[in-house]
Amino acid sequence: MIADLVLRNATLPTGRRADIVVADGIVRHVGAAVRADETVDCTGYTCLPGAVDMHVHMRGGVQAGKEDWRTGSTSAVAGGVTVVVDQPNTVPPLTTPELLRARIREAEERTVCGFAVNAGVVPEADLAGMWGAGAMAFGETFAAPSSYGEGLDAETLRGLFARIHALGGVVTVHAEEVSGRAPATLADHDLARSGGGEARAVQKIAGLAPAGMRLHFCHLSTAASIEAARGTVEATPHHLFLSRRMFDPDDTRARVNPPLRDEETRRGLWSCWDRIDVVASDHAPHTIPEKSVPFETAPSGIPGVETMVPLLMAAVQRGRITLASVIEKTSWKPAAILGIPRAGFEPGNRADYALYPDEITRIDASHLHAKCGWSPFEGLDAVFPEEVIVGGTRAYAHGELREAHGAWYPGQGYLSRENK
């Protein structure tokens, strides 16, 4: 066998050392060495399957000043993320097959990592048309208003859920309650979108969904919300690693929906680590000028796709969580939920990998690749990958982006149509 790429002396998560033989973007053999067009010496690194971040907002289009597919996907790859799932609350929102296809074309022209695109969920949306056109999932579906997304009432959600369930799709839900006046501080924001309200919203939405529906809750921020959930649940690095006490009371850079909570709530979220199915970044960048306004009018959202896995890898090295759990929550479980082929260490697996050193560093926003140029995680411990392979190609090596192109991963509606 002559391979396209061999990862030599790779230390697998099990501790075994082996050569990973790749051809045509697929793992062909794991074991003894063979000849290859290109080799990567993995000595001294831990080899992880590439992460699937199933919750990003890549902006682009009229919002390209915040982020575009090139900068956002470069940021993803530099953080060990090899597939991203873009949310549909774009400008304009993705509610028709034509808009969805245009979004896919925009990504195909610019991205350096694998990608999928979700369909918008509003009453007038052509859900069946977008499902057939390749939507990966439905939502982020807003049960409360958020940036570029209007909240939907219970009866509207019930009807939309029934339509999605009939198609066999996954629905992803943003669950919150919103009350009170426009907040002036992080504490006000926490109160207006309270943890208790989030848990009530989760419980209500779980009751609206038909039996057997594939239901996924986005960015749950409290233990009570996770306990109330049905289906799969997602948590973010910012709710795991940040609390509002780490920022000045009116620091708009920390404004995000759901809000950052207090320290006790943040620690409580960690207590649910084993119940959390997916860690996703909810990468939602805004520029510094957009954030540099009074708190009441500042947009909610923070960048995070590049720092997600590095933060978790530092937690692994500190002994807080296991490497196996990070792989499960950032790569294998999101791939399983979405129906994306698994990246891994068996013949036939997708050849997406990231090689992590043992060295813990500190996050420095000036070294990150998101266009917005800042990070709420500044100064926190992290372990960044030295090499990242996307589709069997070295996409990123020692701080430099190499020539790479990411594949589109269509959803099951498109795949079923193509297989008929």
Mean pLDDT of 282-310: 98
User: What is the C-alpha separation between 239 and 160, in angstroms, rounded?
Assistant: 29
398 annotated as belonging to a binding site for a ligand: no
Residue 127 predicted with pLDDT over 80: yes
CATH number at 2-47+347-401: 2.30.40.10
From 146-155, 209-218, 248-257, the region with the lowest mean pLDDT: 146-155
174 annotated as belonging to a binding site for a ligand: yes
Cα–Cα distance measured from residue 23 to residue 2, given in angstroms and rounded to the nearest whole number: 8
Residue pair 66/148 in contact by the 8 Å Cβ criterion: no
Residue 81 has pLDDT above 70, yes or no: yes
Give residue 314's pLDDT: 98
Tell me what pLDDT residue 129 has: 98
- Which of 138-147, 161-170, 197-206 is predicted with the least confidence, judged by mean pLDDT? 138-147
- Band (pLDDT 50/70/90 cuts) for residue 146 is confident
Q: What b/e string do you get for 228-246 counting C-beta neighbours within 10 Å, with b at 16 or more? A: bbebbbbbbbbbbbbbbeb
In Å, how far from its chain's centre is CA 163?
Answer: 25
Smallest CA-to-CA distance from 151 within 204, 195, 107, 106 is with 204
Angle, to 10 degrees, between the axis of helix 69-78 and the axis of helix 97-110?
A: 60
Q: What is the pLDDT of residues 359-374, one digit of tens each?
A: 999 999 999 999 999 9
CATH number belonging to the domain at 50-338, selected among 2.60.40.2470, 3.60.110.10, 3.30.460.80, 3.20.20.140: 3.20.20.140
Question: Which pLDDT value is given to residue 420?
Answer: 64
CB atoms within 10 A of CB 166: 12
Indicate whether 419 pLDDT > 80.
Answer: no
**Is 282 annotated for ligand binding?**
yes
Spot the catalytic one: 19, 188, 277, 282. 282
Confidence of residue 143 (pLDDT cuts 50, 70, 90): confident
Strands (E), 71-198: 81-86, 114-117, 138-142, 170-174
User: What whole-number distance in Å separates Cα of residue 210 and Cα of residue 191?
Assistant: 31
Helix (H) or strand (E) holding 6: strand 2-11
How far CA 57 is from CA of 7, 23, 25, 416, in Å, comes to 32, 32, 26, 27
CA 56 from centroid of its chain's CA atoms: 5
Per-domain boundaries in the chain: 2-47+347-401, 50-338
pLDDT digits 0-9 by tens, 172-193: 999 999 998 899 999 999 999 9
Question: Any binding-site annotation on 188?
Answer: no
Q: Mean pLDDT over all residues of the chain?
A: 96
Beta-bridge partner residues of 279: 235
Residue 257 pLDDT > 70: yes
Mean pLDDT of the 269-273 span: 98
What is the band of 150 on the pLDDT scale with cuts at 50, 70, 90? confident
pLDDT for res 35? 87
The backbone torsions φ and ψ at residue 242, rounded to the nearest 5 degrees and listed phi first, read: -120, 145
The model's pTM is 0.96
- The residues, any chain, with a CB within 8 Å of residue 403's CB and separated by 6 or more, are 393
State what percent of residues in the chain have pLDDT above 70.
Answer: 99
Q: How far apart are CA 215 and CA 374, in angstroms?
A: 33
SS3 318: coil
Confidence band of 105 (pLDDT split at 50, 70, 90): very high
Confidence (pLDDT) at 2:
81
Interval 324-366: pLDDT, tens: 999 999 999 999 999 999 999 999 999 999 999 999 999 999 9
Helices 195-208 and 154-167, axial angle in degrees (round to 10): 50
282 is catalytic: yes
Confirm or deny that 89 is annotated as ligand binding: yes
3-state secondary structure of 191: helix
Q: Which two tokens stand for residue 308?
A: 């997600």
pLDDT, tens digit (0-9, with 9 covering 90-100), for 151-165: 899 999 999 999 999
Consult the annotation and say whether 126 binds a ligand.
no
Does the annotation list 55 as a binding residue? yes
Q: What is the mean pLDDT of residues 261-270?
A: 98
Confidence of residue 148 (pLDDT cuts 50, 70, 90): low
